[in-house]
Structure 1
Amino acid sequence: MFSTVRKLCFGRSVPEFFSSTPRQALTLARFRRGPRVSLHRECSGRRYNVPPSAEFVARVSGIPTMAKLPFRESADGLDAAFVGVPIDTGTSNRPGARFGPRQIRVESAMLRAYNSGTRAAPYESLMVADIGDVNVNVYDLKDTCRRIREAYRKILATGCIPLTMGGDHTIAYPILQAVAEKYGPVGLVHVDAHADTSDVVLGEKIGHGTPFRRCVEEGLLDCKRVVQIGLRGSGYSADSYEWSRAQGFRVVQVEECWFKSLAPLMSEVRAQMGSGPVYLSFDIDALDPGFAPGTGTPEIAGLTPIQGVEIIRGCRGLNLVGCDLVEVSPPYDTTGNTALTGANLLFEMLCVLPKMKYY
């Protein structure tokens, strides 16, 4: 292998070729030391977790953690952590989202260390790891919510920012309970085909169609700093979003997004959110099912993946205290593309967290 790498260096020695920039030096370190590499944080003595490069370690090898990052038992010492919440007990249509975190991790092997579009360097900025899944109760949704809430209290107590892989959208409710306990009422950037503000569905108040109604009732959201983007589909009334608007939410229906860049919208959203804490919740069904068919409640005429990326990149500069990507249902997309899209959107979320380094 060394001779192959030497050839790629156009006749120069490996040390000469890889010594000109920090990125190149890091690549050489990966080559020399193997799949797990640490990079010093300047002036602090801390080290970062750097996933192995597919230049030297095959993507199909190893245990499929998120982005092939190290697994950690807890969030202690981490700036950000990927965590799975594998439930679909709250779904109203297609099941399967309980397998979302697992498939997202598998597809995340395609992710590399740098964001070529924004030049973000997450693994030179933050200590990140995969801390596994919440131990949910697949037979009892209310007990699962309790378990999620308690798990996130522990994560947030360490100062770590959770990047959550769902699971159905019910999980946003107990997560935001824990988030609001730490930060008070937060702003919300909610990207979804559905408002998820129903009161009671089939006699139940907890499910994937009700989380943000519960959050408002409990004072978890700063309602003047809530935006819902991509809402669409047929409704149970002529104005399905009347309740959201009555709370002070900004509602951006999908028709306002068709055929345009969402960068101008996100400029307005940043002004709306200000400097206070913000939570980002992204339902994969916000994207058109032509792009992301593997989800439980698909609606036609949705956002494009480009617009999804624009929304997340537009959150750069916000005081993000947590993010989630929910409702990936692998059984409904045998190609894996929905989970692959979800993995990339989670990486984009990582790349807009506070204290991110950009080249």
Structure 2
Amino acid sequence: MHYPLSPDVKPEFCTTGSFMRLPSSRDGAKVAIVGLPFDTAASFRVGARFAPQAIRQASMLLFPYHPVHQVYPFEDTRAIDLGDVPVIPHNIHRSYDLMQASMQELMAKGIVPIGLGGDHSVTLAALRAAAKVYGPVALIQFDSHTDTWDTYYEEKYWHGSPFIRAHEEGLLQPDNVFQIGIRGTLNHPGDLEASLDLGYRVVTTQELRRRGTADVVREVKAVIGDTPCFLSFDIDFVDPAFAPGTGTPEVGGLTSHETLEIVRSLAGLTYIGFDLVEVLPPYDPAQTTSLLAATLIHDFAALVALKEKTAGQALYGQFAQP
């Protein structure tokens, strides 16, 4: 049977609850959806623990073919949905261990995990897993906040600190880190400099609009090259007019169309993992945010499928030469 299931096989609303009704196991899987429903490291609104299922529900509106990249993202990668990691709501460190173990097992098998958060603290577990398998990795972070703030109420592990903790633990290659879409009010004048001091490249929304996405994408590709790369997408990168269901919305972001354009233009990099975080279904009227999130997951899988397709064509060309 081909997946995702077509609505002429079974109506979209008839589902077992997986992303686009994907199976939980298949031989040769290259992509795996993994729910990371942890949200008690959030500083303001909570509710992102319900996002994995909300995003899966919204995914029923999607069709299997990606017309821009001309691939079947989930069939070409033989994708699976492993359900949710059984996190412990009141214990971030034990939850980190559980999430890391799940992501690390997949990465060690050469499977690209796509994590459905959860607040942004969950990315630290994914980066720990990536570093165990690949060593320090590159990072593309779409976000309105740098998340390099040290402590909050004297607590070091929260959704505003994953990327300073990742730096301290040596999980990232600092000169291969891009934080894109940063904007909004700050607590202190030096908040952005905290990321620059770590060696990260910060591209504010203002700079992104001034330079244009094509120029920023060229820089990202030139700098990262073939380095194993993790892509972390905080939905508050998008303007809240297009993604209202999030924990710490910031006005002045990109539209959903502009967001899809920049993500789709990042083809060709060596992605070893993705996550999408900070969707809050209780604040998401008409599933607007969840549908955008599901579409981005579709795009992430398309980037992997396109890379596999390109690699296969190159190999075929090598053997086809006289």
TM-score, L = length of structure 1: 0.83
Shift of 1:313: 1.3
Contact 1:97 1:330 in 2 (8 A): yes
Contact 1:153 1:179 in 2 (8 A): yes
Shift of 1:356: 3.6
C-alpha distance after superposition, 1:55-76 (max 9, x if no partner): 442111122210121123xx87
Query: In the alignment, is residue 69 of structure 1 matched against residue 33 of structure 2?
Result: no
- CA distance in 1 between partners of 2:124 and 2:261 (Å): 25
Q: How many residues align?
A: 310
Shift of 1:124: 4.6
Residue aligning to 1:323:
274
User: 1:81 is matched by which residue type in structure 2?
Assistant: A
SS of alignment partner, residue 115 of structure 2: strand
- CA distance in 1 between partners of 2:295 and 2:158 (Å): 26
Please provide the CA RMSD for this pair.
Answer: 1.8
Contact 2:29 2:111 in 1 (8 A): yes
Contact 2:4 2:75 in 1 (8 A): no
**Quick one: structure 1 residues 195 and 147, their matched pair in 2 at CA, closer, same or farther if it must change by over 3 Å?**
same
Residue aligning to 2:98:
147
Residue aligning to 1:24:
none
Query: In the alignment, is residue 275 of structure 1 matched against residue 221 of structure 2?
Result: no
Residue aligning to 1:177:
128
Contact 1:122 1:356 in 2 (8 A): no
Contact 1:83 1:133 in 2 (8 A): yes
Query: In the alignment, is residue 131 of structure 1 matched against residue 82 of structure 2?
Result: yes
Residue range with higher mean Cα deviation, 212-221 or 264-273: 264-273
SS of alignment partner, residue 173 of structure 2: strand
Shift of 1:315: 2.0
- CA distance in 2 between partners of 1:185 and 1:141 (Å): 22
User: 1:352 is matched by which residue type in structure 2?
Assistant: L
Equivalent runs, 1:1-359 vs 2, <5 Å = 37-38=1-2, 50-72=3-25, 77-258=28-209, 261-353=212-304, 354-356=307-309
SS of alignment partner, residue 250 of structure 2: coil
Residue range with higher mean Cα deviation, 75-84 or 226-235: 75-84
- CA distance in 2 between partners of 1:98 and 1:258 (Å): 32
Shift of 1:208: 0.4
- CA distance in 2 between partners of 1:77 and 1:132 (Å): 18
Residue range with higher mean Cα deviation, 219-228 or 116-125: 116-125
Contact 2:5 2:20 in 1 (8 A): no
Contact 1:257 1:303 in 2 (8 A): no
- CA distance in 2 between partners of 1:259 and 1:64 (Å): 42
User: 1:274 is matched by which residue type in structure 2?
Assistant: G
- CA distance in 2 between partners of 1:346 and 1:139 (Å): 28
- CA distance in 1 between partners of 2:132 and 2:27 (Å): 19
- CA distance in 2 between partners of 1:136 and 1:271 (Å): 37
Shift of 1:123: 3.9
Contact 1:227 1:249 in 2 (8 A): yes
SS of alignment partner, residue 321 of structure 1: strand
Shift of 1:266: 0.8
Regions of 4+ moved over 6 Å:
none
Contact 1:313 1:348 in 2 (8 A): yes
Contact 2:137 2:173 in 1 (8 A): yes
User: 2:31 is matched by which residue type in structure 1?
Assistant: A
Higher helix share: 2
Return the structure number with greater relative CO, CA threshold 8 A, min gap 6. 2
- CA distance in 1 between partners of 2:75 and 2:57 (Å): 23
- CA distance in 2 between partners of 1:94 and 1:182 (Å): 34
**Quick one: structure 1 residues 76 and 87, their matched pair in 2 at CA, closer, same or farther if it must change by over 3 Å?**
farther
Shift of 1:120: 2.2
- CA distance in 2 between partners of 1:153 and 1:256 (Å): 35
TM-score, L = length of structure 2: 0.92
Greater Rg by CA: 1
SS of alignment partner, residue 303 of structure 2: coil
Contact 2:180 2:204 in 1 (8 A): yes
- Aligned-residue identity in percent: 39
SS of alignment partner, residue 258 of structure 1: helix
**Quick one: structure 1 residues 59 and 271, their matched pair in 2 at CA, closer, same or farther if it must change by over 3 Å?**
same
